């Protein structure tokens, strides 16, 4: 008879895996967690000091219930750990009224009764003077429930709580392959093989290397920090809150100020047009001017008052799916394997809700929020 090493295992302890581990351990499940690096590291997707939280999940109308549940669970995680992870600063979504960012936010807010306030371009430029060059036909949508999450701290906190609840965590341990067998799964490392009844694979950009057949593409995603020319406080969080701003050419500028008003985090996305596919196993994350020159060239006309060269650049990864939505569930209904990935660059605020959903799937509990639209089988 097979001896099982544990009831379940989580492979990949980024934001999604760490919260799944926390939820399952807290429910008393005998569980293992594997992370190829150290939890809170900077080679995956869950790093860079801050992530925007919004209730208005503009990427899909059905994301809003998941965002709401995630908000409750971020508080639960904070309370359990006595650690502050979420800073409710409010957030600004700017762009054409019928566009993806401002328009999408308004739609989600109206459909789900989320409080927002709108600014005309003129009022926006007055209230938030660092946002210059906002054309007259664009608007600003202020979402008071938005804010900033601390990604590295969140990952470490969830892993620590999981360990306190009994999870056995193996850092610096790469699972080289996942092999479904009768009644369970073999997880191979370079040194040994571990046997569990079921596995949750939350390996971010590496997910497709462990669970083949999912249409995932990993891309390189730089994060850039710029310093203000003058220490005049106009880049403090209050005057320059966390934002996403759609430009007329439909590229999206995003970022936020800081409490001290220095090292302002900014990024520029073009819906993947120029994002470079990467092999996530190539751990070379060295920076080239291609990583920041477009953004640096865009800033003087849109957000003036910053030094022309970035103070810091970090390279991160995102994982794309053909329809831009996450992949969460049991591929082919397999009772031994659950996957969660395809973050498409908007997965952080949902991490706690996704962790809980993964725990519910593993335990055969009914879903608390709609998840069918995220099924891994929807592409067949
Ligand atoms: C630049 C940037 C900005 C972003 N901004 C936002 C934002 O403002 N708001 C937002 O909602 N989202 C944002 N996102 C997206 C968000 O950060 C991600 O959706 C989220 O962090 C995904 O977490 P994850 O756990 O799926 O992946 P990861 O954090 O990458 O975790 C996967 C983990 O699996 C581990 N792993 C992989 N293979 C193995 C293996 N074989 N064995 C063991 N362990 C393994 C990896 O080491 C890694 O730790 C942003 C992403 C980037 C890159």
Cβ(287)–Cβ(316) under 8 Å? no
Structure tokens at 159: 């892993």
In a domain? residue 366: yes
Kindly state the helix (H) or strand (E) to which residue 64 belongs, with its residue range.
Answer: helix 63-81
Grade residue 341 by pLDDT with cuts at 50, 70 and 90. very high
Instruction: Report the pLDDT value the prediction gives residue 77, as an integer from 0 to 100.
Output: 98
DSSP secondary structure letter of residue 266: E
Domain end call among 277, 293, 320: 320
Q: In terms of domains, do 126 and 260 share one?
A: yes
Specify whether 119 is located in the same domain as 228.
yes
Q: What is the pLDDT of residue 283?
A: 67
Gap from CA of 249 to ligand 1 centroid (Å): 28
Q: Are residues 305 and 156 in the same domain?
A: no
Mean of pLDDT over the chain: 95
| Count of structural domains, the chain | 2
Distance between CA atoms of residues 63 and 307, nearest Å: 37
Q: Which of 14, 50, 252, 292 to mutate to test the pocket of ligand 1 (most atoms within 8 A of CB)?
A: 14
7 CA → ligand 1 middle, Å: 25
pLDDT at 260: 77
What are the pLDDT digits (tens) for 233-263?
Answer: 899 999 999 999 999 998 999 999 988 767 9
pLDDT value for 175: 98
* Confidence (pLDDT) at 104: 94
Flag whether 77 is in a domain: no
CATH number at residue 32: 3.50.50.60
Tokens linked to 31 = 């569980």
The residues, any chain, with a CB within 8 Å of residue 295's CB and separated by 6 or more, are 224, 253, 266, 267, 268
Mutate to test the pocket of ligand 1, among 9, 10, 11, 12 (most ligand atoms within 8 A of CB): 12
CA distance 333 to 142: 41
pLDDT, tens digit (0-9, with 9 covering 90-100), for 14-36: 999 999 999 999 999 999 999 99
Cα separation, 199 vs 217, whole angstroms: 22
pLDDT for 217: 94
Six-digit token string for 190: 């370079």
pLDDT tens-place string over residues 311-339: 999 988 899 999 999 999 999 999 999 99
Segment 161-164 long-range contacts (CB within 8 Å, at least 24 positions apart)? 161/22, 161/25, 161/26, 161/77, 161/80, 161/81, 162/18, 162/21, 162/22, 162/24, 162/25, 162/26, 162/31, 162/33, 163/25
The answer to whether residue 206 sits within a structural domain is yes
Q: Are 254 and 292 found together in one domain?
A: yes
Q: Ligand 1 atom 45: the closest Cα is on which residue?
A: 12
Residue 195 lies in a domain: yes
Residue recorded with tokens 């103070």:
311
C-alpha separations of 20 from 53, 222, 236, 316 in Å: 19, 27, 34, 22
Asked if residue 316 and residue 334 are part of one domain, the reply reads no
pLDDT score for 275: 77
Domain-located, residue 68: no
Give the mean pLDDT of 342-369: 97
Determine the structural domain holding residue 264 and report its residue range.
91-144+217-320
- Ligand 1 centroid to residue 301 C-alpha, Å: 31
Looking at the structure, do residues 156 and 199 belong to the same domain, yes or no? yes
Within 13 Å of residue 327, how many CA atoms lie on the same side as its CB? Answer: 32
CATH number at residue 123: 3.30.9.10
Q: Is the pLDDT of residue 1 over 70?
A: no
Q: Which of 57, 59, 272, 347 has the most ligand 1 atoms within 8 A of CB, as the residue to mutate?
A: 347
Residues 30 and 13 reside in one and the same domain: yes
Give 3-state DSSP helix, strand, coil % of the chain, rounded to 5. 30, 25, 45
Residues 195-235: tens digit of each pLDDT: 999 999 999 999 999 999 999 999 988 999 999 999 888 99
Please check whether residue 71 is in contact with residue 143, taking contact to mean a CB–CB distance below 8 angstroms. Answer: no
pLDDT band for 285, please (50, 70, 90 cuts): confident
Residues 335 and 287 in one domain: no
Q: Does one domain contain both 303 and 337?
A: no
Residues with CB under 6 A from ligand 1: 11-17, 34-37, 44-46, 48, 51-52, 174-175, 202-206, 210, 221, 223, 267, 316, 318, 341, 343, 345-349
pLDDT in tens, 150-197: 999 999 999 999 999 999 999 999 999 999 999 999 999 999 999 999
Question: Are 306 and 331 members of one domain?
Answer: no
Dihedral sign for Cα 70, 75, 76, 82, please: positive
Atom 13 of ligand 1: nearest residue by CA position: 346
The per-residue pLDDT for range 115-132, each reduced to its tens digit, is 999 999 999 999 999 999
If you average pLDDT over residues 46-65, what whole number do you get?
94
Residues 177, 289 within the same domain: no
d(CA 248, CA 246): 7
Whether residue 288 is contained in a domain is answered as yes
Residue 177 is assigned to a structural domain of this protein:
yes
Name the residue of 343, 353, 355 whose CB sits within 8 Å of the most ligand 1 atoms, as the mutation to test its pocket. Answer: 343
Structural domain ending residue among the three candidates 293, 320, 347: 320
287 lies in a domain? yes
pLDDT tens per residue across span 87-97: 999 999 999 99
Residues 359 and 259 in one domain: no
């Amino acid at each position: 008879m097979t001896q099982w090493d544990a009831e379940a295992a989580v492979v990949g302890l980024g934001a999604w895996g760490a919260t799944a581990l926390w939820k399952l351990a807290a429910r008393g499940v005998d569980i293992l967690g594997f992370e190829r690096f150290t939890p809170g590291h900077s080679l995956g997707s869950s790093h860079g000091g801050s992530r925007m939280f919004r209730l208005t999940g503009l990427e899909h109308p059905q994301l809003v219930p998941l965002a709401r549940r995630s908000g409750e669970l971020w508080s639960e995680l904070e309370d359990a750990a006595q650690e502050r992870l979420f800073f409710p600063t409010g957030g600004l979504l700017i762009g054409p009224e019928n566009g993806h960012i401002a328009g999408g936010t308004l739609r989600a807010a109206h459909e789900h009764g989320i409080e927002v306030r709108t600014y005309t371009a003129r009022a926006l430029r007055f209230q938030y003077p660092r946002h210059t060059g906002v054309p007259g036909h664009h608007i600003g949508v202020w979402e008071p429930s938005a804010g900033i999450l601390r990604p590295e701290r969140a990952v470490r906190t969830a892993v620590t709580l999981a360990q306190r609840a009994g999870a056995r965590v193996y850092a610096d341990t790469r699972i080289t392959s996942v092999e479904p067998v009768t009644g369970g799964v073999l997880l191979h490392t370079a040194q040994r093989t571990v046997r569990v009844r079921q596995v949750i694979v939350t390996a971010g950009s590496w997910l497709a290397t462990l669970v083949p057949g999912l249409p995932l593409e990993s891309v390189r995603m730089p994060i850039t920090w710029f310093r203000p020319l003058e220490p005049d406080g106009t880049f403090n969080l209050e005057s320059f809150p966390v934002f996403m701003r759609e430009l007329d050419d439909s590229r999206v500028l995003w970022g936020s100020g800081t409490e001290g008003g220095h090292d302002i985090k900014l990024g520029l996305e073009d819906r993947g047009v120029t994002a470079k596919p990467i092999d996530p196993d190539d751990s070379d994350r060295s920076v080239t001017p291609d990583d920041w020159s477009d953004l640096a060239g865009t800033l003087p006309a849109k957000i003036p008052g910053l030094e022309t060269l970035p103070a810091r650049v970090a390279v991160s990864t995102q994982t794309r799916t053909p329809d831009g939505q996450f992949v969460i569930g049991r591929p082919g209904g397999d009772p031994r394997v659950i996957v969660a990935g395809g973050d498409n660059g908007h997965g952080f605020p949902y991490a706690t809700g996704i962790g809980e959903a993964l725990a519910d799937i593993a335990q055969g509990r009914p879903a608390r929020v709609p998840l069918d639209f995220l099924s891994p089988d929807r592409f067949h």
